[in-house]
């Protein structure tokens, strides 16, 4: 794996331009730093300005674990593609979404019926994103006990896909939709020659693991156990990469 910010590793970025590239980003931990309360997440002024400039001349896709309704107020621009719920919302058709909504509502009811007292005891927060559920234990009063409770229960749910995040378990319908499939669909719709995608979390590995030469995966943060070909050490390094992308993008104008 190569540090994308080192000059010798930036040749691949010089091939990217608004005419042939989709620029994809995760939100939490990538465009905005991870914070204790997701409601406090903010994109910095510098990052916002760079993103707005890129969005004005190129095809930008935001693919996030949040719902579209949740993430929209945090974005300083309107990207051409905004995909929520880990690649489900904004990509699948209405019939599929309705089926998923019904399925996840049933699961939420089951979870609360079986574990409401335990969730309260361990400060586990159930986030209902309509098309997926997230169980947060970032603020759990007894971290290991809460983590064990959640993971043991989830291991019994073979009909759902469980994706671990940073002190969160994401529960997704097992329908094949993910960030990777969403990004590939966007590339096809744009007839793009390549796509850059930045992400920091386990769910972003669905993009990084793609066996497609068009996809340039860049991991943000610690590089243990990732399929990304490139990385940057810190979330704050995103601005440096955006500046490089803009420099090459402006060559088309």
- Identify the pLDDT of residue 229: 94
Q: Is the pLDDT of residue 175 over 80?
A: no
pTM of the shown model = 0.90
The fold of the 94-173 domain, in CATH, is: Alpha-Beta Plaits (3.30.70)
- Identify the pLDDT of residue 225: 83
Pick from 90-94, 209-213, 217-221 the range whose average pLDDT is largest: 217-221
Side by side, which strands form the sheet with 21-25?
A: 2-3, 230-232, 215-220, 194-199, 21-25, 59-63, 81-83
- Average pLDDT over the chain reads 91
The answer to whether 2-91+177-252 and 94-173 have equal CATH topology is no
- Identify the pLDDT of residue 94: 92
- Domain 2-91+177-252 in CATH 3.90.550.10: no
- Identify the pLDDT of residue 197: 98
Q: Tens digits of per-residue pLDDT, 44-65?
A: 999 999 999 999 999 999 999 9
Question: What are the residue boundaries of the structural domains of the chain, listed by start?
Answer: 2-91+177-252, 94-173
């Amino acid at each position: 794996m190569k540090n994308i910010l080192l000059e010798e590793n930036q040749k691949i970025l010089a091939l990217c331009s608004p005419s042939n590239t989709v620029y994809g980003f995760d939100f939490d931990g990538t465009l905005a730093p991870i914070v204790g309360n997701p409601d406090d997440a903010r994109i910095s002024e510098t990052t916002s300005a760079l993103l707005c400039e890129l969005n004005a001349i190129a095809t930008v896709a935001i693919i996030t674990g949040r719902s579209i309704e949740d993430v929209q107020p945090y974005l300083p621009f309107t990207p051409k593609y905004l995909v929520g719920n880990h690649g489900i919302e904004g990509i699948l058709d209405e019939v599929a979404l309705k089926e998923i909504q019904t399925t996840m509502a049933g699961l939420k009811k089951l979870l609360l019926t079986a574990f409401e007292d335990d969730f309260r005891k361990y400060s586990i927060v159930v986030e209902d994103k309509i098309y997926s559920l997230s169980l947060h234990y970032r603020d759990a009063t007894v971290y290991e006990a809460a983590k064990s409770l959640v993971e043991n229960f989830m291991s019994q749910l073979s009909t759902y896909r469980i994706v671990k995040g940073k002190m969160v378990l994401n529960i997704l319908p097992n329908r094949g939709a993910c960030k990777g499939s969403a990004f590939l669909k966007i590339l096809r719709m744009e007839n793009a020659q390549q796509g850059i995608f930045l992400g920091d979390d386990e769910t972003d590995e669905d993009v990084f693991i793609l066996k497609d030469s068009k996809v340039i995966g860049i991991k943000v943060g610690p590089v243990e156990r990732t399929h990304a070909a490139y990385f940057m050490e810190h979330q704050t390094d995103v601005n440096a990469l955006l500046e490089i992308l803009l420099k090459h993008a402006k060559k088309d104008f």
